Every structure is written in C-alpha cells, then in structure tokens.
Amino acid sequence: MGELSQIQRLLRILQILSSGRKVTTTELLRRFEGGVSLRTLQRDLLSLSEAGIPLISEKTMANENAWSLMSQFRSFIPLPLETNEYLAAHILKANLKVFQKTPFEKEIQSLINKIDQIVPEEVFLETETGKADDLFENYSAGNFDYSPHGETINKLISAILHGNICEVTYQNPYASEEKTYPIEPVRLVYYSGGLYVIVYFRKYEKFRLLAIQRIKKLIITDENYPQDHIFDPELFWKNKFGLFSADQVEVTLEFSKEIRHHIEGRTWHDSQEMKVKKDGTLVLSMKVGLSPELVSWIMGWHEYVTVKSPDELIDTIKSAHYKSLEKYK
C-alpha cells in the first residue's frame, strides 16, 4: 500500500470503525499493511477524538486500547461491505477482461482499491490470503484486443452518459471504403469476445450495432440528441440469435441424447421451448431470425443435431455441408 495522507488515514479509520466492532490499534496497524507506524495511528485516533468524533476507548485483557464508535454516529458513515459483496466486486473485475489494456482497466482497479479501503475487519481477515482474486476466472477464446481503442471506448461512454450526438468514421467489413455519418450512442454490448455499441440512426429511424474495432474515428459533438426514441432491449434482441437480425421464423432442432446435457439447462433464446422424447433426444424450438450466426451454431454440433424446420434452414445447412465437403475432394 502506498503512503497515505492524514485525511486518507482518518477516513479509513472511520470506515473500519463503522462496522460496530471494537478494534485495537494493533488490528488497525495490520489493516494499513505496514504503511503507517503504530505511533502515527495513535496520533490519528487522538486527532479524531479532539475533532469531536465520539470515539470510545476501552482496555482489553491484554491492556491494549480497543476503539469503537458510538452507535448514533455510525449511521452517518456508509454501511460496510459484507463478504459476498466484496467477493462480487472481484468477480465483476474478472468479467471485465474485455477492457484489459485500455484506460478503463485502471478505473476498474481503482474501484477495487477503494472497495479494499472500506472492507470490515472480519471480511479483511477472511480474504487477506488472496482468495478473493483467485475465486473466479472468466475463460474465453477469441477475445479482441481493445488496447488501441481505449480512447474510443471512453468517448462512447461519455456520449452515452450525456446523450451527445457523435460523428463516426466506420469501416464496414463488406465495403471497400470508410464512411462518415452521425450516430446517437445508447449502449455498449459485450458479445463473444467482442465489444459493440448500439447506436440510433436518426436518418433511418433504426437502432444498429457497430463493432468498436471498426470505428476509425469518433468525434463527440456539443449537440445533445432529443430523447424521442426509447431503446427497448427486449424488442432489439427479439429476432436475433447473436448479433445479426433477420425475420423471425419458427425453428425446430433435434439433438441426440449423447449431447443433450450440453443443450438443456441453458438459455439460447428467450423464446425457446425444450422437450425430451422417449428415446432421449431433445427437441429445441425457437422463434428467431435465420442469421449466419444461427447457421454457424447449428453446424458446430455436427452430426448430433438435425434441423426439422423450416425448409429454408434445412436447405441452407445442406448447402453449407456440401460446400465444406467440396474443399476436401
């Protein structure tokens, strides 16, 4: 722990004492991890008392002072964290790997450091061996490296919070030239290792997704967009199986019993319905668009899945398999 100023030490002492427990100066010293001397802590406690903070000092069996706060004063200090709340913060940190090597990573670590400052004594003792950081791991392959896009991410966050119209220069993967146009950012989305932004195109009155890594330039204007369009997440994702949108149709898939355990118990789409047949096969029904992502997902289950309907999807899967076979002839 770095060297703290007196005001930082005083605030942390108050936060520790706000748990309602009696804390000795030795315990306080341990909480500061050797970053301050025992004599300095004793002077800080005296300063708090002289400033009118209602500290109570009692002698322990070991003839050491144990400090506490009057119960009436504790209500003016933010409630201390419970163990699970503290661990939840570390789980949240593990789930934000998409922001690694960006300026936002420092903000996340800063938040964790501030949370560490207000952890109650019993939580501190329970987690001081480093188990909080080792509790949860988010493992995924194919994560995009957003280290070159930190400034863009920060600008988008600011624009979303303040409702600013932006001018974006974007490289569509299916177009040869970049295009520049106005957007109204409304939400960041993390999906399958990638970071996207949902924007409103006023010209077309449509919400669309832009991939962060394809944004070549972003300018935040001083103009705020009117709040005359409401983003409805349920409606936005309704026809999607992944990121791509298409007209909604009834899709029925049959999975063999060998991989049933990989399918059931998971939410693949909000419209899904599952039933198990007598032979152990599982039937999954969904109302989704026939997007490239749906086709890719189905083909990923190889011979263990059969498309029952619609005919258009059956033909698409057949064609994809034939094309794959042709490459190995």
Residue with tokens 């083909």: 299
pLDDT at 81: 64
pLDDT at 121: 58
Packing angle, helices 83-94 and 103-117, rounded to 10: 170
Report, as an integer, the average pLDDT of 281-309: 95
Q: What's the CATH number of domain 147-231, 3.30.70.20, 2.40.170.20, 2.30.30.520, 1.10.3720.10?
A: 2.30.30.520
CA 172 to chain centre: 26
Report, as an integer, the average pLDDT of 315-326: 94
Burial of residue 218 (CB within 10 Å: 0-12, 13-18, 19+) is: buried
CB 127 within 8 A of CB 189: no
Report, as an integer, the average pLDDT of 252-278: 96
Percent of the chain with pLDDT over 70: 89
Least reliable range by pLDDT among 18-32, 92-106, 261-275? 92-106
pLDDT classification of 132: cutoffs 50, 70, 90: low
In the chain the first and final C-alpha atoms are separated, in Å, by 63
3 state SS of 150: helix
Report, as an integer, the average pLDDT of 284-308: 95
Phi and psi, residue 108, nearest 5°? -65, -45
The single-letter DSSP state of residue 280 is S
Burial of residue 234 (CB within 10 Å: 0-12, 13-18, 19+) is: exposed
Say whether pLDDT at 247 is over 60.
yes
The pTM (predicted TM-score) of the whole model is 0.68
Q: Which CATH class is domain 6-74?
A: mainly alpha
Q: Where are the domains of the chain?
A: 6-74, 83-134, 147-231, 248-326
Measured distance CA(56)–CA(74) in Å, rounded:
12
Q: Specify the pairing of strand 23-24 against strand 282-289.
A: unpaired
Measured distance CA(322)–CA(313) in Å, rounded:
14
Phi and psi, residue 15, nearest 5°? -65, -40
> In sequence order, which residues have a C-beta less than 8 Å from that of residue 5 and are 6 or more positions away?
none
Measured distance CA(54)–CA(46) in Å, rounded:
11
Say whether pLDDT at 63 is over 60.
yes
3 state SS of 190: strand
pLDDT classification of 213: cutoffs 50, 70, 90: very high
Each residue of 114-127: pLDDT tens digit?
777 666 655 655 55
CB 102 within 8 A of CB 149: yes
